[in-house]
Amino acid sequence: MNRFRIPAILAKMATASVLLLLAMSAAAETLPTFHVAYLHDGPIAPWAAGLRDSLRNEVRAVLATDFEVLDPEQSTIVADSTPESCREGLLALLARPEVDLVITSGPLGSVAAAHLDSRPKPIIGAMILDPALQGVNLAGGTSGMSNFTYVTPPDLLKKDLAALDAVVDYQNLVVLASSRYLGALPGNGQVLAELTGGDVVGVSIEGSTAAILEALPAETDAVYLLPLVTIDKTRIDELLDGLTARGLPVLAMRGEPDVRAGALIGVAPQDWLRQVFRRVALAAGRIAVGEDPAGLPVLMPRGGKTVINMNTARVIGVSPSYTFLIDVEQVGRYSNVGDDRRLDIFATMEEAQLNNQDIATAQRLVLAGQEEVSLASSVLLPQLDAGLSGTVVDEDRAAHLTTLSERTFGGHLGFSQILWSDQAWSSYSVAKDLQTARRQELVRVSLNVGLEAAAAYLDVLRADTHLEVQRQNLAFSSSNLERAQVRV
């Protein structure tokens, strides 16, 4: 009986599988379409093009579950880095009947979207630097604006400047950025001047590296570096090297990526933009299923830790306090300027012994003592004595003194060997013993220096390990606090 039932069961399973596949295929074919359009502020460098691709991919990944996502290249407009062109691009995209959602990727487009008189279709602004300072509505953590939502880190400018204030004193700040970012700054930098209490000057990065450095005012004592997405990474490195060579502390709005490249300090973590794009994608998903953009949350804390480049700090002469360093992430902590060596404990001992002045003094005493031993031993060696003498008497005196010849010459040669001398042998023995003592003292000093260097090396490792443990404990405590705050 079982022999006949098994094929029947397999046949039913196969039929069910086919029906399931057909149902899934039919469901896939019937997914509703959702058309997404993008507005970019302007052209960017090749390395930054991947950022825009990342934004598009995040949106696709979130929407693909429930929608067939349409975002052809024809639905992307790249403005010319001016507010006017961004506004025109937005109006053009909103006028297209097939577009369901517009996403602005840059600060100019995001601000332009916030200031439109009307928005017939939903818009997401991916980059609002400071809502209050840029005149963008913020009500109860949402935009409260019809068909508009955005992403912004709370108090971005204030927190960036607070990080710089914690390590350096400055009065004359230069904002270094592309023209699009300078144009997006609230009040063209006037607000930054009010926040810093000093003078703030904007300098565009359009031009050669030498021209940019030349454009910096002579009284500049700090630089605020905005994202340089319009120039290639080689020029960014050159610019950071030039600023460091001038002894200027650089605060990087882009955070960790630019700090690792040579800026002094930054607040944003390495994956900050990826987090922003993910938030934009999630907002797009909620809008696609019918939620009101005006009620979506807009605040997104950057999280992570302040990042400081210790190598740059050493070059420009900045010495952050211990209490500051305990709560930040340090990069370049073990690299020495102009010296890429890494020392283990044995190399450290050898380095200390090669450069120690006490050892150098002991070595000179050994060399001098060797000369004293040689002098003491020379008395015991065979002695050869040779000499020449001569007398010349003037002719008149020689005539009256018959016993003297006018010219007399003589010489002598002698050889002697001490067979035994208590004093000589004692002096030689004492000299040898003293030299042995000097050599032993050299060994003692060398060993002590090596021991002290090894102990210091281990003390540094112990202190560094202790610091790392404290830093990790602080990170865990901060993480637990953030979780608790979210739950409350």
Q: What is the pLDDT of residue 285?
A: 95
Q: What is the pLDDT of residue 8?
A: 60
- Are the CB atoms for 93 and 77 separated by under 8 Å? yes
List pLDDT tens digits, range 124-158.
999 998 888 888 999 899 999 999 999 999 888 88
315: helix, strand or coil: helix
User: Does residue 361 or residue 207 have the better pLDDT?
Assistant: 361
List pLDDT tens digits, range 362-377.
999 999 999 999 988 8
pTM of the model: 0.67
In degrees, rounded to 5, the angle at the alpha carbon of residue 281 between the alpha carbons of residues 275 and 284 is 145
Q: What integer is the mean pLDDT of 239-259?
A: 93
Question: Which of 62-71, 208-217, 407-416 has the lowest average pLDDT?
Answer: 407-416
Q: What is the pLDDT of residue 439?
A: 94
Where residue 308 falls among pLDDT bands split at 50, 70, 90? very high
Integer Cα distance of 80 and 146 in angstroms: 27
Residues with Cβ within 8 Å of 130's Cβ and at least 6 positions away in sequence, in order, are 152, 155, 156, 157, 186, 191
Q: What is the pLDDT of residue 200?
A: 84
Question: Which of 22-31, 220-229, 247-256 has the lowest average pLDDT?
Answer: 22-31
Integer Cα distance of 194 and 217 in angstroms: 19
Q: What is the pLDDT of residue 328?
A: 86
Residue 380's alpha-carbon distances to 46, 370, 377, 430, 435, in angstroms, are: 86, 16, 6, 14, 18
Integer Cα distance of 128 and 151 in angstroms: 6
Assess whether pLDDT exceeds 90 at residue 471.
no
Q: What integer is the mean pLDDT of 14-42?
A: 74
**Backbone dihedral region for residue 283 (phi beyond 0: left; psi -120 to 50: alpha; all else: beta):** alpha
Q: What is the pLDDT of residue 1?
A: 45
Assess whether pLDDT exceeds 60 at residue 405.
yes
Q: What is the pLDDT of residue 67?
A: 92
